[in-house]
Copies of this chain bind each other. A is one copy, B any other.
Amino acid sequence: MKKVAFIGLGVMGYPMAGHLLTAGYQVCVYNRSTEKAQKWQQEFGGDMALTPALAAKDCDIVFCCVGNDDDVRDVVYGDNGILAGLSEGGILVDHSTASAELARELAQAAKAQGKHFLDAPVSGGQAGAENGVLTIMLGGEQAIYDQIKPVIAAYAQFSQLMGEVGSGQLAKMVNQICIAGLVQGLSEGIAFAEKAGLDGNKLIETIAKGAAGSWQMENRSKTMFAGEYDFGFAVDWMRKDLGIAFAEADKNGANLPVTKIVDGYYQQVQENGGNRWDTSSLISLLKK
């Protein structure tokens, strides 16, 4: 039986680590705040460690799902970091949404020690993590992906190796760029419908299957009409992800004019106290 570690028990990592245990793996967790790790252990019954290095000890695979680039570096490097504990031949899988540059840096650091790295950001949100139906986009070597694919199936409905290391992060950036413009268009459409006095249910039933249709329209329009923004991926996290995309675009020359405008709207939502509202809260700026 494979021994694995999971570093970072946030809204995503907590249920993901649980799914690994349920799937029959031996799981040791680490979380910066020990209380969360203890709570996890009480709920699922796995092991916990007081440092990432201790959690990674004797593991075949170490998963990590934390915040930004620096948060990842904090748990990977140093005497207490994952790489210090992971054995030669071990695999580090980073589920954090971070820069492609960090992925390349970590892959190099791992390789220098005879270890392996895959960047593996996820989509599907908190509900996807809890229900074990995430989509995972990975970057790295095929042979390494083949080894971890059956393991991440514990919480992934679909996973795909996008290409070389960093490609998983680049695919996630595309995902977030597409969402930004899409949700703004949907917000303007719904706000217009409200001003026009249209029946929201009839409207969405009519247009959702056609050329204006989207996952966001199917899953968020009802709550957008209602002005409820408590359904998942938070504005703070979206702005972090868009910031990563903008930094990459500065390097690859991609032009993101509307995505940048929408990021500015998200900043306004934050200024209005909506840091933890979900991404559909763009419509709050149009409801006045």
Where the two chains meet, the residues of A that have a C-beta atom closer than 8 Å to any C-beta of B are 100, 123-125, 135, 137, 158, 160, 162-163, 167, 170-171, 173-182, 184-193, 195-199, 202-203, 205-207, 209-217, 219, 233, 245, 248-249, 252-259, 261-262, 286
Q: Which of A175, A214, A254, A256 has most chain B Cβ within 10 Å?
A: A214
Residues of the B chain whose Cβ atoms lie less than 8 Å from the Cβ of A182? 181-182, 185-186, 212, 214
Chain B nearest CB, measured from A147 CB (Å): 20
Q: Which residue of B lies closest to A279 (CB)?
A: B211
Residues of B within 8 A of A213 (CB): 214-215
Known pairs A192-B252, A249-B192, A261-B258; A210 contacts B123 (CB<8 A)? yes
Complex contacts, A178 vs chain B, CB 8 Å: 185-186, 188-189, 207, 212, 214, 217
Q: Which residue of the partner chain, among B167, B175, B177, contacts A210 with CB atoms under 8 Å?
A: B175
A288 to chain B, nearest CB (A): 8
Are B211 and A123 neighbours in the complex by a CB distance under 8 Å?
yes
- A13 to B139 Cα, complex, angstroms: 49
Chain B residue with Cβ nearest A181: B185
Determine the residue in chain B with the shortest Cβ distance to A288. Answer: B255
Nearest CB in chain B to that of A190: its residue? B174
How far apart sit A261 and B262, CA to CA, in the bound complex (Å)? 12
Decide yes or no: A189 and B177 within 8 Å by CB, A196-B254, A198-B162, A199-B162 being known contacts.
yes
A170 neighbours in B (Cβ, 8 Å): 193, 196-198
Q: Which residues of B contact A125 (CB under 8 A)?
A: 211
Distance to closest chain B CB from A196 (angstroms) = 4
| Cβ contact within 8 Å between B245 and A192 | yes
Residue from A177, A187, A209 having most chain B Cβ neighbours under 10 A: A177
A174→B217 CA distance, assembly (Å): 12
The reply to whether A188 and B286 form a contact with Cβ atoms under 8 Å apart is: no
Bound CA–CA A199/B167 (angstroms)? 9
Report, nearest first, the 3 A-B pairs whose CB atoms are least far apart.
A181-B185, A214-B214, A178-B189
A215 touches B206 (CB 8 A): no
- A198-B162, A206-B137 as given contacts; A192 in contact with B177, CB under 8 Å: yes
The interface residues of chain B lying within 8 Å CB-to-CB of A135 are 206-207, 209-210
Given A137-B207, A163-B197, A181-B187, output 4 extra A-B contacts at Cβ < 8 Å.
Answer: A123-B211, A174-B203, A188-B258, A196-B252
